[in-house]
Structure 1
Amino acid sequence: MPATQEILLTADGISKAFGSFYALKGVEFELAAGEIHALFGANGAGKSTLAKVICGHIAPTAGTIRAFGEPASFQRPRDAMDAGIGIVTQETSLAGDLSVWENIILPVYGSRSTPSQSALRKIAKDAIARLGFAGEIDIEKNCEELSAAHRQLVEIARIVALGSRIIILDEPTAALSPGESARLFKVMDALRAEGRGLIFVSHRLEEIFAMTDRITILRDGASVKSNLTTTDLTQPELIHLMVGREVEQLAPEEIPDTSAAPIQLSLTEIRSEPAVRSVSLEVHAGEIVGLGGLVGSGRSELAETLMGLRPLDAGAITLLSKDYQPSNPRGALTAGLGFLPEDRRRQSIVPDFSVRENILLSHLSQLTGPRLRYGTRNSRIDELADMIGLDRARLDDSSLLNYSGGMQQKALVMRALLLEPRVLLLDEPTKGVDVGARATIYSFLRRLASEGIAILLISSDFEELLALSHRIVPISDGRTIGTVSAGDINEEQLTLICAPRSSHEHQNALLSRLAEQFGVQAGWVMTAGNQLLCLTRQGAASGASLPDPGIVAPMAGSQIAVSLERESSTVCDEEGGHQSLLMIIENQRGIGMGSIAILSGKDQTLDETAIREAAAQSLSVFEEGQLRLRATGPDTDCEQ
């Protein structure tokens, strides 16, 4: 950090006691203008507590804070907001019965003057537009109607609208997919360039190393290392500082063959409008099937439909070899389903119940008499606590909210397993969970699968989805797009497949130009193992056609089969007097992002050089030059 860089905030010897328990123990921290500073540590390390001290939500027991060069002693959050400090908490704090724009400008009503309603709407609209989500979030819609990810974005828009110079982001990407996270990171970069200071709390190592300038590591409430330069650390070093030991990294394991195992869950053209439009998939016993979709794809709504929380409009469901008609959550649990919802605060936790009582909620759904009979589940709870690494001594804590986010998630996984279901629906099972706890949950899920439990895994972390799943079922705009082995696809390709069809504007414009200029059909295709996916296509070729968009089909049945079989990058002769040309597309890191497929009409000759030049020119302005054509090599001759 340059010596001349302005220091926006310093925390010296910050301690915070709750009774005899110290959540913070003499923490040291510093934030400079124009930097993103990571707060990193395991669940319960004190990251959120320190953030709340800085923004005036709680008062420190000891220590001093200086903000913008002056001593600061915030008695309430309003004081910190007025001073120029804002926070986006891990659990959203929106008023569900207020509109998006009202939630964004809500802090304004605590100030001395309030602008006109039209001016306030404009402030909210500009904040959403600055985040890049103007076309996705209707500012007039009530927040209770939004998905968890969109509620998180509204929280961030509120801080942007306030114009805070110090911005604390506590797990802002926990509910976001890679695409939404990338867009948020662009906003963070812009805020950093404006000279603001961002405190970034995240458990995702790739985000820490990609986005932050410095890191402060907390362990058990103390700052193990403060103000370290990010580039001076490696991932193993950072993990070791966080937990004090080595942690097994997430990596794909050999995918077992479960094709002969019984099909435990089968969905055929499930529809629950408007979010779920046509979903078909199967999950075998002992199999983990990943449902890969972006925010708004209908993935969470599908799980809610299976649990009877949303009406089933059409389609057929088979559960454990029996016809299944979801009506309510109690019936779903009785039928053999276990469920972990996406949003633990809104959908799972009862704050007034103890930890054990929260775990026992699924048990209560099965009671028919006046007695609670809690004791019948004690041995199962103890067994699950040992398996998932939850301290038995804390099971009788008065509130589950006393737990860190990761410990809350472990307790809710225990609830989902309490009735020994044969099919598990897990929506964001590691949301807000640190690296160490995440490794425990991964091992736990793999163990459950090995014991024959069928798991439908929903996650916005595509790296996690690909490493844990045996098969992936992509979903976009409420429709599933076939199935593919997790070992045949990478994170970038999955993101591209799962993108909303409405986001293919640039691809369609590029393909339309090629189709019109050369009188061909042009498509954007991807291969996954022995399967072919057509993302989108434009134009027509007499007597021939690329696969329908959104269909994963066997490559051998395609009319560009010769090009695909030989992985050719030159013109190939296909059956019926047609010609084909595949042009591989890659990103700046050289990772394949699919191919532009050209299919000629009958007896039409393709001009390879002209088509390549036109495609390369169009790609040069595509997505700000992020994609390009891969150069042809000596082994791409169709005649080999």
Structure 2
Amino acid sequence: MSVNNELLLKAEGITKTFGRFSALKGVDFELVSGEIHALFGANGAGKSTLSKVICGHFTPTQGNLHAFGSLARFNNPRDAMDAGIGMVTQETSLAGDLSVWENIVLPAYGGKKKPSQAKLRQTASKALESLGFGEEIDLDRECRDLSTAHRQLVEIARIVALGSRVIILDEPTAALSPGESARLFKVMESLREEGRGLIFVSHRLEEIFAMTDRITILRDGHSVKSNLSTASLTQSDLIRLMVGRDLEALTALTVPDSSNKPVLLSLSNVKSGTQVRSASLDIRAGEIVGLGGLVGSGRSELAEAVLGLRPMESGSITLLGKAYKPTNSRNANMSGIGFLPEDRRRQSIVPDFSVRENILLNHLSSLSGPRLKYCQRDKQINALADQIGLERDRLDDSSLLNFSGGMQQKALIIRALLLNPKVLILDEPTKGVDIGARTTIYKILRQLASEGVAMLLISSDFEELLALSHRIVPISDGMTIGTVPSADINEEQLTLICAPRSSLDRQNMLLKQLAQQFGVQTGWLLNAGSRVLCLTRQGDIGAKGLPEPGMVVPTQDTTIQTAFETEPGQVCSEKGDMQSLLLVVNNRRGISMGTIAILSRPHETLDKNGIRAFAVQALSAFEEGQFELAPDKNRAITTPVGGLK
């Protein structure tokens, strides 16, 4: 924490009621400068309500809020904003017609003095650059065209641009990949070091323990424990305080043999715009296949193409053993496909409809005629609500927007299951869902798999993806990359496989120059248990060589089988009078980033012309982030060219 520990916020006995419903029941909370304070609890515990009281969206029914040493009476968000409090909400609130930079500086237009457009644009640019996304997000792009993750980042940039001393982050990583979350955490660390106070709302236990100094735990509107040191708790303690009982840990799925089951969904070279360039996969009955990719890889766009929400330009799809051409979502529903979209607010919820009416939207698509026939689904809806833990008396609430994000997700899962789909596509099914509800969703998905439903699972949480899926189909730059059993791969390996291929530029430079200078074939490989993935390959030796890039193959089926059975760094004799050499690549933190494979032509030796010694020297320079090959093949020049991507 900060040395001065200045008290920025203090909430005493905060109560908030909506009619007869009490969202907060006497909550105590405090925030000091230079700390990240976790706000933790189950869906509906009151986290978002407390956050909105702090930032002026709601006025408390009872209790006092002190901000920066004075009693605070915020009548609206502008009052809190002017005082130095900003909030990034779970659901983004950007103006789709405005550009990125206009959205970032939008609060300036509500102030008394508005700087020049040039200065506002410069402010927006600096805010994005401070987050590390200055080159990735185009300032002039309309926000309607941004991905969910990029919209979230623009929201965060808006708060940074305001210079807020108190920043509330409500589930900021829900739509981010592990790599993007890590970049956000670095920004949070720098904000903490500047002496700002951060309130961090997250359901991910690993994030809570990694990032926060103190924690306040809410349950049913009460603050069960306030202002505890996070380091004083264990994960089990935290779960018990949140739900009042122990929960099962997320364990990997026991994989049944599905090789004799029919393929219910098959995609072959599907192309849809620039986002989906070539996607192929098969899903059998009772199988959960994880689509593993980073934000922007084309994973959500592929799901939308299958649903007919975006045009499929080429390729073919087989559904339930028959040729299938996606036209629209109604056709997909009637053909046996259920879908849970990534973005609840934009893609799923009708604000003017009640909870039950929102759930029944898929039911309406199955009708032909003027009668709604809602009563036909009452029994099924009630059973699903009981199964997923959604109280029946909340089904008739006037608006689904009155629910917390996690409760909204439960209602939308009920909608997706209402027509008994044979194939279920789930895009971020646990986004914004607490650990208790997650456990329930996991059980439901596994139960559906046991009943023969084929599922395509998309998740930014790679731990979740690996534990729930039978197989993983990585996707990068809109192209699927083979398939691998989830038991044969870990989170780091999957992240590397899914990295955009443009991030292999330096690796390709190393492989290409080695191949050209010594007349060998080189490849950048990634081990996945008993299998290997070739990320990229350079050089042609005329015979059967290294695996094709993008192919996941058993190690015993490769030309360098002996090398895989030998300690790295040793020259090995392979079939066909060839020789091989494997060199393990580690980054500066000692984490393995893959393996360089070198394969010689028949009857040649890898020790000829000192290639082995040279490759080791070049790799050492590469790992230090100072790699550059000289025309002279007998030495390496080590000039800084940036770290390992």
Which TM class, normalised by the smaller chain length? over 0.9
Provide the rounded CA distance (Å) in 1 between the counterparts of 2:403 and 2:626. 46
Structure 2 counterparts to residues 383-394 of structure 1, below 5 A = 383-394=383-394
User: Deviation at 1:597?
Assistant: 1.6
The letter for the 2-side match of 1:94 is L
Report if aligned partners of 2:99, 2:140 keep a CA contact under 8 Å in 1.
Answer: yes
| Residue deviations 1:66-117 (CA, integer Å, cap 9, x gap) | 2222221111111111111110000000011111111111001111221221
Provide the rounded CA distance (Å) in 2 between the counterparts of 1:438 and 1:567. 42
Provide the rounded CA distance (Å) in 1 between the counterparts of 2:626 and 2:232. 35
Report if aligned partners of 1:340, 1:429 keep a CA contact under 8 Å in 2.
Answer: yes
Report if aligned partners of 1:203, 1:433 keep a CA contact under 8 Å in 2.
Answer: yes
Aligned to 1:605: 606
Name the SS for the 1:34 alignment partner.
Answer: coil
Provide the rounded CA distance (Å) in 2 between the counterparts of 1:126 and 1:510. 34
- C-alpha change, 1:101 and 1:183, in structure 2 (3 Å) is same
Provide the rounded CA distance (Å) in 2 between the counterparts of 1:611 and 1:589. 21
Provide the rounded CA distance (Å) in 2 between the counterparts of 1:360 and 1:584. 54
Q: Which residue, 611, 614, 620 being the options, matches 1:616?
A: 620
Name the SS for the 1:419 alignment partner.
Answer: coil
- C-alpha change, 1:551 and 1:309, in structure 2 (3 Å) is same
- C-alpha change, 1:95 and 1:170, in structure 2 (3 Å) is same
The letter for the 1-side match of 2:372 is L
Provide the rounded CA distance (Å) in 2 between the counterparts of 1:126 and 1:24. 38
| Residue deviations 1:589-626 (CA, integer Å, cap 9, x gap) | 76544212222344132354443243123202379999
Provide the rounded CA distance (Å) in 2 between the counterparts of 1:86 and 1:622. 41
| Residue deviations 1:11-44 (CA, integer Å, cap 9, x gap) | 1111111112211111111111111111000001
The letter for the 1-side match of 2:408 is Q
- C-alpha change, 1:70 and 1:622, in structure 2 (3 Å) is farther
Provide the rounded CA distance (Å) in 2 between the counterparts of 1:290 and 1:116. 48
Provide the rounded CA distance (Å) in 2 between the counterparts of 1:506 and 1:437. 43
User: Deviation at 1:248?
Assistant: 0.9
Provide the rounded CA distance (Å) in 2 between the counterparts of 1:503 and 1:605. 28
- C-alpha change, 1:121 and 1:339, in structure 2 (3 Å) is same
Name the SS for the 1:375 alignment partner.
Answer: helix
Report if aligned partners of 1:485, 1:529 keep a CA contact under 8 Å in 2.
Answer: no
Provide the rounded CA distance (Å) in 2 between the counterparts of 1:558 and 1:327. 42
Provide the rounded CA distance (Å) in 1 between the counterparts of 2:351 and 2:77. 22
The letter for the 1-side match of 2:491 is E
Larger CA deviation: 5-14 vs 442-451: 5-14
Provide the rounded CA distance (Å) in 2 between the counterparts of 1:626 and 1:116. 36
Provide the rounded CA distance (Å) in 2 between the counterparts of 1:516 and 1:451. 54
Aligned to 2:368: 368
Name the SS for the 2:455 alignment partner.
Answer: strand
Aligned to 2:89: 89
The answer to whether structure 1 residue 269 and structure 2 residue 256 are counterparts is: no
The letter for the 2-side match of 1:363 is H
Name the SS for the 2:185 alignment partner.
Answer: helix
User: Deviation at 1:311?
Assistant: 0.5
Name the SS for the 1:218 alignment partner.
Answer: strand
User: Deviation at 1:337?
Assistant: 0.3
| Residue deviations 1:397-455 (CA, integer Å, cap 9, x gap) | 11111221111111101101101110001000000000000000001100000000001
Larger CA deviation: 257-266 vs 597-606: 597-606
Provide the rounded CA distance (Å) in 1 between the counterparts of 2:586 and 2:436. 34
Aligned to 2:630: none
Name the SS for the 1:44 alignment partner.
Answer: coil
The letter for the 2-side match of 1:604 is T
Report if aligned partners of 1:506, 1:622 keep a CA contact under 8 Å in 2.
Answer: no
The letter for the 2-side match of 1:353 is F
Provide the rounded CA distance (Å) in 2 between the counterparts of 1:470 and 1:626. 38
User: Deviation at 1:509?
Assistant: 4.3
The letter for the 2-side match of 1:616 is S
Name the SS for the 1:397 alignment partner.
Answer: coil
Aligned to 2:401: 401
Name the SS for the 1:103 alignment partner.
Answer: helix
| Residue deviations 1:37-74 (CA, integer Å, cap 9, x gap) | 11000001111111111111111111112222222111
The answer to whether structure 1 residue 304 and structure 2 residue 304 are counterparts is: yes
Larger CA deviation: 285-294 vs 554-563: 554-563
Aligned to 1:460: 460
Name the SS for the 1:553 alignment partner.
Answer: strand
Aligned to 2:293: 293
User: Deviation at 1:489?
Assistant: 0.2
> Which runs of 5 or more structure 2 residues have no equivalent in the other structure?
628-639
Name the SS for the 1:137 alignment partner.
Answer: coil
Provide the rounded CA distance (Å) in 1 between the counterparts of 2:505 and 2:193. 30
Identity of aligned residues (%): 67
User: Deviation at 1:3?
Assistant: 7.0
Provide the rounded CA distance (Å) in 1 between the counterparts of 2:3 and 2:133. 37
User: Deviation at 1:186?
Assistant: 1.0
Report if aligned partners of 2:253, 2:470 keep a CA contact under 8 Å in 1.
Answer: no
User: Deviation at 1:395?
Assistant: 1.1
Report if aligned partners of 1:11, 1:65 keep a CA contact under 8 Å in 2.
Answer: yes
Provide the rounded CA distance (Å) in 2 between the counterparts of 1:2 and 1:362. 52
The letter for the 2-side match of 1:564 is F
Aligned to 1:507: 507
Provide the rounded CA distance (Å) in 1 between the counterparts of 2:258 and 2:274. 33
Task: Give the root-mean-square deviation of aligned CA atoms.
Answer: 2.1
Report if aligned partners of 2:587, 2:623 keep a CA contact under 8 Å in 1.
Answer: no
Aligned to 1:633: none
User: Deviation at 1:576?
Assistant: 3.5
Aligned to 1:413: 413
Report if aligned partners of 2:88, 2:172 keep a CA contact under 8 Å in 1.
Answer: yes
> Which runs of 5 or more structure 1 residues have no equivalent in the other structure?
629-640
Provide the rounded CA distance (Å) in 2 between the counterparts of 1:506 and 1:230. 41
Provide the rounded CA distance (Å) in 2 between the counterparts of 1:331 and 1:460. 28
Report if aligned partners of 1:586, 1:627 keep a CA contact under 8 Å in 2.
Answer: no
User: Deviation at 1:393?
Assistant: 1.8
The letter for the 2-side match of 1:251 is T
The answer to whether structure 1 residue 120 and structure 2 residue 120 are counterparts is: yes
Larger CA deviation: 598-607 vs 248-257: 598-607
Aligned to 1:322: 322
